[in-house]
Chains A and B, each alone.
Chain A
């Protein structure tokens, strides 16, 4: 028997998680787990619905990244109506891309300004009441104002294309359902009602400079905290550049060796298996070639920076070069560098949005294409939190008979468990008293991944934070609650 510390739920992640830390008789950390104890069953209850409803239904998985699910499902459904990504009209593809960049932009802004900045600005030892965006806003008015307006810009892009900031509709089988009007485009260019896209690029550059400056001052913590080798997975373009909407799957190991060599989306099932553990509802995907023990990968901004050779937009590409130079071109395994990578992607999305908003074909009316029906469709996209896979099979009547979703947070499952173990051993080992700051460091490690447990499993509503400490005989010896 061992001592056990339970942190439930983890705060400031989307959804509900629980951490248990097991200690031996001497008070040393023996093991640690991130348990996902909720279950959603989305893959099951979508069965029996017509395929064309999938992009609408699955976005209810999440209130933060519904657009990612909407687009991944749409790409899969495109295949069911006989169309590959290259078959869509340029206007439809560009509108979907603009929607996607707006989504990643607002989601990253949400995470950095709202969820991560308290950890960075106040440190992990600050009292819980101070660890939130509201205190950031009060202490750093200009930073908070920019964060609010950057998130708003991304949300307004989503609203302009889908009709709503959350759970709107844009993609339909074979394209998009609505033209983008000149006045809608001008709203983002003229700066009359909201700061324009040039301001977004400027502020994105400022925030990248902020994180680099912050890193200069705190590199010992940022470089060492939860630093452990891992595989990395992400989409890249044909030229090996960062690709968020449609690309090929590339993975590398902790030393930078290629473990998945730019494979086509449709082949994902040949290369991946989802493992299960009895203590969590969340699965553990891994590369078949390396097995359950060694084949797991991190995904998300850090991994995308690691697998990409370049970025197509100049300012972000310059920042990628700086990012890669810091580890001399070797894979960056610093968990806290997720924040740095996320901000480079914010800049990339802002640059991409400017290109698209100034592209006349965005306003075209060639929205839909048709093809020959197929029984199966696979859509893979880089969601804000990482590689997102939607896979559907349908019967002759077009009803969904099978659905498989591998979401970003699921890919990061093993990596988050490793991070929790790392922090537990570093901070809780042989400590007689567990402090609030120590427990928060566990949360800081998980938050760096920006996990969405709503997407990975199920989460409705919120619960208070519950921390329980057990002795080596499993007796409850201490308990903490936050509400």
Chain B
């Protein structure tokens, strides 16, 4: 068993069943990274995906997006398992977080960006499909228009990659 959250913060920590993790690292799993590498640490998700695609044991399918939108519900309907990867700007001291994600009816009046839970809800509602879903959130701190991430984000990215690499060792 591995601890997904690190850097001393323990609230909400989830213990990962490694066998389940190996089940996720399969060819029928979609890893979808959300972000924008032109906005500094918002590129964390894409950078993570770039890195794990190079890992010898990685088996999943990958996709990149600026934000989750309604049509992603259709995309998800083609996969039994999905992993969302995104940067986040939490106030806590957690470098990354791995969590199970469930459908949530939490739509707001704006429509251009949906949460992973909202997309899963739509997928279930429109396509009667309920993929097993997880979210990997990697913490950043700089969101300005800039190519290249902060040192803090790169450190967190490395920790997330190390964690992921260990988890998919067979």
Contacts and interface: CB of A to CB of B under 8 A. Distances in A.
Interface of A: 11-12, 60, 63, 114-115, 128-129, 131-135, 137-138, 141, 144-145, 148-149, 151-152, 155, 166, 460, 462, 465, 482-483
Interface residues of B, number: 19
B74 A141 contact: no
A134 B107 contact: yes
Give the dominant DSSP class at B's interface: loop
B54 interface: no
Contacts, number: 59
A166 B66 contact: yes
Given A134-B122, A141-B125, A128 B109 contact: yes
Tell me which of A131, A144, A152, A465 has the highest count of chain B C-beta atoms within 10 A of its own C-beta: A144
5 contacts: A11-B109, A134-B114, A148-B71, A148-B126, A462-B110
Interface string B5-34: 000000000000000000000000000000
Contact of B74 (A63, A114, A131, A148): A148
Given A148-B71, A148-B73, A137 B126 contact: yes
Contacts of A460: 145
B125 A12 contact: no
Contacts of A462: 110, 112-113
Interface in B72-113: 73-74, 107-113
A132 B109 contact: yes
A156 to B, nearest CB: 11
Interface in B112-126: 112-114, 118, 122, 125-126
Contacts of B70: 114, 133-134, 137, 144, 148
Contacts of A155: 71
Contact of A129 (B109, B114, B125, B145): B109
Contacts of B109: 11-12, 128-129, 131-132, 465, 482
A135 B74 contact: no
A152 B77 CA distance: 14
A144 B70 CA distance: 9
Given A152-B74, A166-B66, A132 B126 contact: no
A106 B108 CA distance: 23
A12 B74 contact: no
Contacts of A128: 109
